Amino acid sequence: MKAKVIGGPASPYVRKVLTALHIKGIEFTIDPIVPFFGNDAFGRISPLRRIPVYIDDQVTLCDSSVILQYLEDRWPEESIYPKDVSARAHARWLEEFGDTRVGDVFIWKLFFDAVIAPAVFGAERHPEQRAAVLAKDLPDVMDYLESQMPEDGFLCGDFSVAELALAPHFANLAWARVEPDWSRWPKTGAWLKRANEESTLGELAKTGAQLLRIPPLQHREKLTELGFDVTTETFGAEKPRPGVRLS
C-alpha cells in the first residue's frame, strides 16, 4: 500500500514530511485538509488536531519529528540524519528548535495572526502583538539561526533533518508578510536559498502558496490538478474548529 499523509502543503510541518518522503522515494497519497477543518475521525487519530498525520501498513503517527525518525528507521537508505553522532545530535537539536521556538514565533505568533485567524475564524489581527514579536522574538530567533549557519553547504554536513525542520517555516513567514533583513542575517538567507533549490521544499512552498489563495474545500481539486495523488476519502469537514494549544 502507499503511505497516506493527512494535511496540506500550506503547513511547514507537512512540507517537512513530504520532502522526506521524496528523498527516500516513498510513494504516498495525500488528504490535504487544513487542520481546523478536520472532522471527528481526524480528532481521533490526531488528538491535538494537528497535521501531518502519517499512515502506512504498520503505523499511524501524528508528529512530524516522530514521523521522520520512523521513516529513517524503516528506510535508512538516503539518510536524512547525519552519520556522525555529534552532528546527528546537533541536527536533532535544530529540529527541536524549529518545531518549537521557530514554530511558535513564525507560525503561531505571526502566520496564525496574519492569515489563519482572520481567514478561518473571522478574528481580528493584533497589530500591537505583531509589532512586539517583530521587535524582539523574530530577531532573537534569526540571531540564533545566523550563529549556527555554515559559510556554505548545510547545517550538519549534508542536507538533513535540520533543513527539513527549519527551512519550511520561512515560506509561512513570507505569507504573513514578513521579510527578514537579509543584510543582517546573510548566511541564513544564503542557506535558505540552497535548501529550497536543492530539495522539493521550494516547489512545495509554491504549491502551498497556491492553496492559500483558494478556500480549503477546493484544496483537493487543486492538488489533483497539480498532479498529486489525492485520497478518495477525506478527514475534512465543512466547518472549522480550533486545535489544541500547548503551553
* CATH code, 56: 3.40.30.10
Q: What is the average pLDDT across 211-216?
A: 95
Q: pLDDT (tens digit, 9 = 90+) per residue, 22-63?
A: 999 999 999 999 999 999 999 999 999 999 999 999 999 999
Q: pLDDT (tens digit, 9 = 90+) per residue, 52-102?
A: 999 999 999 999 999 999 999 999 999 999 999 999 999 999 999 999 999
Residues 158 and 106 in one domain: yes
Cα–chain center distance at 164: 8
For residue 106, give the CATH number of its domain.
1.20.1050.10
Angstrom distances, CA of residue 104 to CA of 24, 137, 242: 28, 10, 16
Residue 241 lies in a domain: no
Q: Across all residues in the chain, what is the average pLDDT?
A: 96
Residues 121 and 33 in one domain: no
Residue 247 lies in a domain: no
Angstrom distance (rounded) from CA 137 to CA 101: 9
pLDDT band at 174 (very low <50, low <70, confident <90, very high): very high
Which helix (H) or strand (E) element contains residue 99?
A: none
Residues 20 and 109 in one domain: no
pLDDT at residue 117 greater than cutoff 60: yes
φ/ψ (deg, to 5) at 133: -65, -40
Structural domains counted in the chain: 2
Q: What is the average pLDDT across 225-238?
A: 96
The angle at the Cα of 154, spanning 152 to 156, to the nearest 5 degrees, equals 125
**Which residue type, as a one-letter code, is found at position 229?**
D
pLDDT at position 206:
98
Residues 165 and 216 in one domain: no
**Residue range(s) defining the domain that contains residue 21:** 3-79+203-225
How much of the chain is in helix, strand and coil states, percent to nearest 5?
Answer: 55, 5, 35
Residue 232 lies in a domain: no
pLDDT band at 242 (very low <50, low <70, confident <90, very high): confident
Residue 212 lies in a domain: yes
pLDDT at residue 245 greater than cutoff 90: no
Answering whether pTM is above 0.85, one says yes
Residue 240 lies in a domain: no
Residue 239 lies in a domain: no
Domain final position from 180, 197, 214: 197
Sign for the pseudo-dihedral over CA of 207, 228, 164, 12: positive
Residues 89 and 193 in one domain: yes
Residues 63 and 93 in one domain: no
Residues 61 and 131 in one domain: no
pLDDT at residue 247 greater than cutoff 70: no
